[in-house]
Amino acid sequence: MANLFCMKARLLCKSEARDNAPELPREKWMMMKKTFALSLTCVAVLGLSACSSDDHDDSALKAEIERLQGENAALVENNEALQEKAEGYISTFPQQCAEAGIDFDYVDPNLPVTNAYGQTVRFDTAAPRGNDCAACHTGGAYAPDDAKHDNELTQSGDCASCHTNPHDDESPVDPGDPQDPTLPIDPSKPDAISGASGAPFYESSSYLNADYLAQRLSGMFDHYQWVEAEEGGVTELAQACELEGRQHIEAMFPNDGKAYSLNKYSNQMGVKTVVTVNKVDRATGEALDEELPNTAIFGYNLIKGDDGVYRTNMNIMGNNLTCYNMVMNGDVRFHYYEYDHSNSDKAGRNQGARLLGTLDYKATSLGGLDYQPIPGFGAGEDFDPADVNWDQVGLCTLSTEIHTIAPLG
């Protein structure tokens, strides 16, 4: 009878060892983990009951207990190794948080949308964001003339250092078909027809619609990153998993005991270049034997004025060659270019446009070394380029009237 009891007790122990395996924290690793724990209650039943009272020989029972204990120790060690290996597969912040019991999915902050023409695009408000106030609000001196605004940042148009951009929350507007020409090529205008790749390659991937192009020029891509916090911040993973914007970052939380903040920043959607021509030697004023192209990277936008004319606006600190050539020559070429390295289609991965224009002298303003408008050269004053004293120019606010939007090439 006692032997029968012992046999049942052993079977009960084995069953309990299986049933009491701890629940795994992540379902994806359930097949990897094997956890068996020998119940102390079960050991007590086997060890303290009279299972060997018939023959007083408990050597087999002891051997069985030792075997089960050894097996349990090996499985615990194996489970720890598997857990460490499983944690090694964690490579994103959402996975970190899921391991800590806080579940959410990653959401791309730059998710594209499909417009009415079946094209996958990302629309942005036509109003510039961030500190690009000067792209629209031109005039030389951007801030009120008072002691509070008497510093280089405000006088150069960096309004975002103190003010919140009121345009950030404006709803995007569908501007129409990107390939619908607004300002088609005029063969009489110089450099209007592509002489490089030609229309067959990039006609279908060029932004010829001025309103659509305007949105791309002012559009921004949002990104998130962990930065060490000078004040505040979070030090624990559980805290980081509750931060606003947590769903927009994939980079893992450092979790090294230091305090971090989740920082959002924005970058332009494409590359903007300005092409002018060097015609004279600025040092001597003499004409160059050979005119040379001058290409620079600058930020600019495209705005439709109340008069129906599209203009680009850009702000340049100093009086570099780009400013000098634009003012002295009048002709300007703008290239806007987006490159998608993941696209296998030639037209799909190369998108943008070329903008051809002439400087609008009346809308342009030249500021002095103190960034204040130079008398006679401020916005609204139509000046003669030959009258400019370039030694006194410290700020160029340039407005260009666009007469042609041409395809890439």
Task: Identify the pLDDT of residue 304.
Answer: 92
Prediction pTM value: 0.66
Q: What is the distance between the alpha carbons of residues 178 and 172, in angstroms, rounded to a whole number? A: 15
CATH 1.10.10.1100 fits 123-219+269-406, yes or no: no
Task: Identify the pLDDT of residue 61.
Answer: 86
Task: Identify the pLDDT of residue 147.
Answer: 53
Q: Name the more confident of 14 and 93.
A: 93
Q: What is the distance between the alpha carbons of residues 301 and 217, in angstroms, rounded to a whole number? A: 6
Calculate mean pLDDT across residues 314-342. 92
Q: Is 80 exceeded by the pLDDT of residue 36? A: no
List all residues 6 or more positions away from 347 whose beta carbon is below 8 Å from its beta carbon.
201, 202, 204, 205
Task: Identify the pLDDT of residue 377.
Answer: 93
CA-closest candidate to residue 174, choices 108, 109, 110, 117:
117
Q: If you compute the radius of gyration of the chain from its CA atoms, what whole number of angstroms results?
A: 35
Q: What is the distance between the alpha carbons of residues 371 and 115, in angstroms, rounded to a whole number? A: 43
List all residues 6 or more positions away from 45 whose beta carbon is below 8 Å from its beta carbon.
9, 12, 13
Q: Is 80 exceeded by the pLDDT of residue 180? A: yes
Confidence class for position 30, pLDDT limits 50, 70, 90: very low
Q: Is 50 exceeded by the pLDDT of residue 125? A: no
Backbone angles phi, psi at 380, to 5 degrees: 95, -5
Tokens of 88: 């090694």
Domain ranges of the chain: 2-89, 123-219+269-406, 224-267
CA-closest candidate to residue 116, choices 75, 172, 175:
175
Question: Across all residues in the chain, what is the average pLDDT?
Answer: 77
Per-residue pLDDT tens for 187-246? 676 555 555 555 556 778 889 999 999 988 888 888 999 999 999 999 999 999 999 999
CA 316 to chain centre: 25
Q: Enumerate the H helices of 89-209 as residue ranges.
A: 93-99, 152-155, 199-202
Q: Which helix (H) or strand (E) holds 45?
A: helix 40-48
CA-closest candidate to residue 40, choices 11, 63, 64, 17:
17
Confidence class for position 62, pLDDT limits 50, 70, 90: confident
- Poorest-confidence range of 35-44, 193-202, 218-227, 339-348? 35-44
> In angstroms, what CA-CA distances link 171 with 124, 126, 174, 219, 290?
8, 9, 10, 13, 49
Q: Is 90 exceeded by the pLDDT of residue 395? A: yes
Calculate mean pLDDT across residues 40-57. 51
Q: Is 80 exceeded by the pLDDT of residue 142? A: no
Termini Cα distance of the chain:
96
> In angstroms, what CA-CA distances link 120 with 24, 178, 222?
41, 11, 18
Task: Identify the pLDDT of residue 128.
Answer: 42
Q: Is 70 exceeded by the pLDDT of residue 327? A: yes
CA 221 to chain centre: 4
Three-state SS at 289: strand
Residue type, 343: N
Task: Identify the pLDDT of residue 175.
Answer: 77
CA-closest candidate to residue 134, choices 154, 152, 150:
154
Task: Identify the pLDDT of residue 198.
Answer: 53
Per-residue pLDDT tens for 154-173? 555 566 667 665 555 555 56
Within a 10 A sphere around the Cβ of 13, how many other Cβ atoms? 20
In the chain, pLDDT over 70 holds for what percent of residues?
Answer: 66
Tokens of 118: 């079946």
Cβ–Cβ < 8 Å for 69, 230: no
Task: Identify the pLDDT of residue 69.
Answer: 87
Task: Identify the pLDDT of residue 169.
Answer: 53
Q: What is the distance between the alpha carbons of residues 341 and 316, in angstroms, rounded to a whole number? A: 31
Calculate mean pLDDT across residues 333-351. 89
List all residues 6 or more positions away from 370 whose beta carbon is below 8 Å from its beta carbon.
155, 394
Task: Identify the pLDDT of residue 94.
Answer: 95
- What is the rounded (10 degree) CA torsion for 342, 344, 345, 346? 80
